Amino acid sequence: MKKTWPLWEVFVRSKNGLEHRHFGSLRAADAEMALENARDVYTRRMEGVSIWVVESKNITASNPENNGELFEPAQDKVYRHPTFYKLPDELKHM
C-alpha cells in the first residue's frame, strides 16, 4: 500500500492563562508541517497563541466499553464533595 501522511491531533492555547484545548486533527508528513498546517487550518482568526501537535497514534484512549469500571466507582463517593458535610447555618463561608 502507498504510504500516506500520518494523522495529527492539534491542541491550541487560545490565550495565555488558559490550557491547550483539542481543536481537531489534520494530516501532515512530519511534526514541522503539522504545526504549519495547524496554524493555517485552526488559527486563521486569532484563535490561538500556542499550538501543540501530537501524532494521533501516540495517544492512548480509554474505551467506552470500560466506562463502568473506570468511572462508576466515583458515583458512590459523595463524601468527596463539600456539600456532603452538614454544618450549622451560623458558620458562614466555609
Partner 1 sequence: MSENEVKNLEDIFEARIARDEKIEPKDWMPEKYRKTHIRQISQHAHSEIVGMLPEGNWITRAPSLRRKAALLAKVQDEAGHGLYLYSACETLGISREELYDQLHTGKAKYSSIFNYPTLTWADMGAIGWLVDGAAIINQVPLCNTSYGPYARAMVRVCKEESFHQRQGFESLLKLCKGTPAQKEMAQDALNRWWWPSLMMFGPTDDESTHTEQSMKWKLKRKTNDELRQQFVDQTVPQAEILGINIPDPDLKWNAERKHYDFGEINWDEFWQVVKGHGPCNKKRIKDRVGAWERGAWVRDAALAYSDKKELGEQTESKIAS
Residues that bind partner 1 (CB under 8 A): 2-5, 7, 24-27, 29-30, 33, 40-41, 44-45, 61, 63-65
H/E segment holding residue 33: helix 31-42
Across the chain, which distance is largest between two alpha carbons, in Å? 73
At its nearest, how many Å lie between partner 1 and the CB of residue 79? Answer: 28
Distance in Å, CB of 33 to partner 1, minimum? 6
79 to each of 29, 30, 75, how far by Cα in Å?
49, 48, 10
Minimum Å gap between C-beta 90 and partner 1 is: 42
